[in-house]
Copies of this chain bind each other. A is one copy, B any other.
């Protein structure tokens, strides 16, 4: 972590309260954003998702003005970087019960941008994503499933891994959404029972012809083209999924070009 600032409500503080509910219960939300030429092109979309998550968890977020000013100050002069914003419900309350009024903790941090990769090799993970409609879609801090799945990815020496729900439906990678071309067009899994409503996924749903659907393992392996995407790395063409290989796809390149025009940081 290169630069980090912590706020309790609107007051900058030196350290995390050991009684913070983020630490105790993962009672918080986060956003990981791409910085390009001192700016976060998708900042509005990230803050909207954060707001949706806060509504779902009933975390009171203060006004955005001072947050935006802080983010702008930290990103100024950064040509290419990753900005992480975490917000927890703050400290206090008796056990799981949230306090009546709590002051959220904000943790803002700046990190190196990841190296870009022309294509990635991925694997099937055995760790499942549990069905939990109350938490699906939002980017909350209960991420042990992803931590366990990511251990599988590291053990397989792969770049990413695909996760399925308990019914065997494919949902997403550990930190990216999945898109496949089924011959007719692009499809991406529904994320109403698990998974995250990715910002790059949202952009693609608005700017390309994509069907949200239910996908099993066979559908993914039969696909004519496949990629992962997230807001930090953009569109990541998949070269290999376990033994299955795909050649470079002109359909994927078209989407990459379209995305690069809208958001040059993700070129």
Contacts and interface: CB of A to CB of B under 8 A. Distances in A.
A168 to B, nearest CB: 13
A207 to B, nearest CB: 26
Given A95-B150, A97-B151, A154-B97, A144 B175 contact: no
A262 interface: no
Contacts of A57: 144, 147-148
Interface residues of A, number: 52
Given A25-B26, A26-B26, A134-B128, A96 B20 contact: no
Interface string A108-138: 0100000000000000000110111011000
Interface stretch (A11-19, A71-79, A238-246): A11-19
Contacts of A26: 25-26, 141-144
Contacts of A20: 16, 23
A177 interface: no
A204 interface: no
So how many copies of this chain end up in the complex? 2
Interface string A165-187: 01000000011000000000000
Contacts of A153: 97
A143 B144 CA distance: 11
A24 B141 contact: yes
Interface of A: 1, 4, 6, 14-16, 18-28, 30, 57-58, 86, 88, 95-98, 107, 109, 127-128, 130-132, 134-135, 140-151, 153-154, 166, 174-175
Given A1-B19, A15-B16, A95-B175, 8 more contacts: A1-B18, A6-B18, A14-B15, A25-B141, A25-B144, A57-B144, A57-B148, A98-B150
